[in-house]
Amino acid sequence: MILGIDSSAITAGCALYDGGKVIAEQFLNTKHTHSQTLLPMVESMLKSAEVELCDVDVIAVTAGPGSFTGLRIGIASVKGMAVGAGKKCLPVSTLEAIAYNFVGIDGIICCAMDARCGQVYNALFRSENGVISRLCEDRAVKSADLYEELKQLQGRVILAGDGAELLDNVTEHSFTLAPPALRYQRGLGVCLAAEGREPVEAAALMPSYLRLPQAERERLEKESKAE
């Protein structure tokens, strides 16, 4: 049984998945901070499903990319639960978790999260015959550059993630904007992306930011100008 957790962006979600069966799932898209909502949501879901944390085999969590604060809250929460319950963890790419919303829907899945400053966190996946395969590594790219790359692709391109609307320029090229029910990362996508992978100890669970925090970027920029 996998407990999947996401708090990598403005949305938050959790799910219980066991051998092909979705036991329970909760999803929030509010402006409340994840430090207020994440653990109560997980606790509520487990209670409703009549499942104890000790019954779970592994805890999966989106480790990045995403909001620096959101990732830290999610990973810290999972570490605490894993250590307390003696469970192992599975870090999952946030972008891959989004792609797993499209199992059974064929096409190229362009997962994009708003990284601000004209950039998106992005990865491309192919969904075909119920199988999700990765086409490129997670990356931080300019949204304009990604748009130009997508125009060269053949076949159906589905835009997903909270950065999808930044790329939905149907006046020049026809992309499919994923419906809200599939567009964002969800707990079930985390579970599906984690299924069959080797777990790690809680101490080894680390975030993957893809780029430096803004304060660090500003410091390096000042230092380069001073030189």
Q: What residue ranges define each of the domains in the chain, with the CATH number in brackets?
A: 2-96+185-218 (3.30.420.40), 103-183 (3.30.420.40)
Whether omega for the bond prior to residue 179 falls within 30 degrees of 0, making it cis, is no
Q: Confidence band (pLDDT; 50, 70, 90) for 227?
A: low
Question: Poorest-confidence range of 24-28, 37-41, 175-179?
Answer: 175-179
Model pLDDT for residues 121-147, shown as the tens digit of each residue: 999 999 999 999 999 999 999 998 998
Threshold 0.85, pTM exceeds? yes
∠ CA 56-137-14, nearest 5°, is 25
Q: Give percent above pLDDT 70 in the chain.
A: 90
Model pLDDT for residues 68-103, shown as the tens digit of each residue: 999 999 999 999 999 999 999 999 999 999 999 999
Do residues 184 and 98 lie in contact, with contact meaning Cβ atoms separated by under 8 Å? yes
Q: Can you give the pLDDT at residue 65?
A: 97
Average pLDDT over residues 218-224: 55
